[in-house]
Chains A and B, each alone.
Chain A
């Protein structure tokens, strides 16, 4: 499929559709692919394989002002939601992007291999659902589904919500999983258990801002946490409170706009399940204001900047109980 993709992009470039493509390029290993913007001459560096996990949509923001003509962007089904959302927010101009919807059958998480004690990885052979991992210390076989990125386990489906053309087959890798499983589990806990769960997770935070900087919804020119005039600017969480504050506020600021792309959790060096915060907002929005998926269409008005006269009162939270 990589070959087919490169040939097609080359043809598009020859036709004059665009001069550059936003995609992935090969890294030092087979698995550390890197987001890249390539010209026709660099096209041979383009890769598209099971390790192209990063969501590229946000890179388009910085390209917008530089663009003359169009840029080709490779968009996976799940990334297409972020792309739409960015277009809705006028951060990306749909007209300036030629979207190739690339097929996706789930992306592999190398950290999950490492967590299984498979280290010194040198190569992986893919044969259907079976992966043979070659390492410095011998070969191992694993089931592909077990080492997919977490975001792939709650796959939003194989449909591209936006594209100019599609290349490659997609597959829904969610296997029927309910993405709100963990949210429900947490909701069922006692307040103290929830508190302890989140303290345990958030106390790992090193405030590297990777979650914020990778997030396609966090596209503010100047973040509130970088602005010395807000009084909340902080570079490191000097106190438990600041860890909580950063993550609550960040989740709140993207509520209604978060497409649940899962990048925040993917990039967190400490493996904090940050998507569970965003997903809680999504669950609440679905529950209280009607089902809503950000980025489904360009131009949607999201529920947090909307209202009806019949909305529930905030006391609904208290009434749900489970406080102590």
Chain B
């Protein structure tokens, strides 16, 4: 696939308040670089992520959506991320069933201490999305800026 040099992927990262958001913070304060096109949205827990949020991110122009939460077993609310894990598995499978590349969606567990992992994850995800190119299958034409 030819990569358009002009085009930069838009990535939405949903981060749980207790681990991953702190992880992102640590990545920032440790001056680790990750793409500026990653927009972080803080959610109270990974299981707060309603499937609608993911779809709406795609609708409004996201090319990839990633969910980051506490490692299984470490959830601030003890079990939230276990539920999130099942839900996201099923949702991603459904998106793939509809012909939407499942590499555009990802779940990673990032703890508050894992600044480097956060940066590495984002870099890797951005690279994958850049290779996949623009999301055309799940966008809303009305939201495209002419």
Contact = CB atoms under 8 A, between A and B. Distances in A.
A–B proximity contact (CB within 8 A): yes
Interface of A: 186-187, 191-199, 224, 230-232, 238-242, 244-245, 248-249, 251-252, 255, 277, 280-281, 284-285, 288-289, 303-309, 311-318, 320, 322-324
A311 B85 contact: yes
Contact of A195 (B85, B92, B99): B99
B146 to A, nearest CB: 15
B106 to A, nearest CB: 7
14 contacts: A194-B98, A245-B52, A245-B55, A248-B94, A248-B95, A249-B55, A252-B51, A277-B97, A284-B94, A289-B86, A307-B82, A311-B82, A318-B92, A320-B96
Contact of A309 (B72, B87, B89, B93): B72
Contacts of B73: 309
B101 interface: yes
Contacts of A288: 89
A192 B106 contact: no
B107 A314 contact: yes
Interface of B: 51-52, 55-56, 58-59, 72-73, 79, 82-83, 85-103, 105-107, 137-142
Contacts of A285: 90
Contacts of A303: 86
Q: Give me the 9 closest cross-chain CB pairs, A-B, nearest first.
A: A195-B99, A307-B82, A194-B99, A241-B140, A314-B107, A317-B92, A314-B89, A314-B88, A317-B102
Contacts of A289: 86
A231 B55 CA distance: 12
Contacts of A249: 51-52, 55
Nearest to B51: A252
B52 A307 contact: no
A322 B51 CA distance: 23
B83 A307 contact: yes
Contacts, number: 124
Given A245-B59, A323-B101, A313 B95 contact: no
Contact of B98 (A244, A318, A323): A244
Contacts of B96: 191, 317, 320, 322-323
> Majority SS of interface residues in chain B?
helix
A26 B141 CA distance: 47
Contacts of A280: 93-94, 97
A192 B99 contact: yes
Nearest to A239: B140
B82 to A, nearest CB: 4
Given A248-B51, A281-B90, A315-B107, A307 B79 contact: yes
Given A252-B51, A309-B73, A309-B82, A323 B138 contact: no
Contacts of B101: 191, 323-324
Contacts of A255: 90
A245 B91 CA distance: 12
B124 to A, nearest CB: 12
B110 to A, nearest CB: 14
A313 B85 CA distance: 7
A306 B90 CA distance: 13
Given A192-B99, A314-B106, A314-B107, 13 more contacts: A191-B96, A195-B137, A230-B52, A232-B56, A245-B56, A248-B51, A248-B55, A252-B91, A280-B94, A284-B93, A307-B79, A314-B92, A314-B105
A241 B139 contact: yes
A192 B106 CA distance: 20
Contacts of A197: 99
A238 B142 contact: yes
B97 A186 contact: yes
Nearest to B88: A314
A177 B55 CA distance: 34
Contacts of A231: 56
Contacts of A196: 99
Given A238-B142, A312-B89, A323 B97 contact: no
A242 B143 CA distance: 12
B51 to A, nearest CB: 5
A195 B51 contact: no
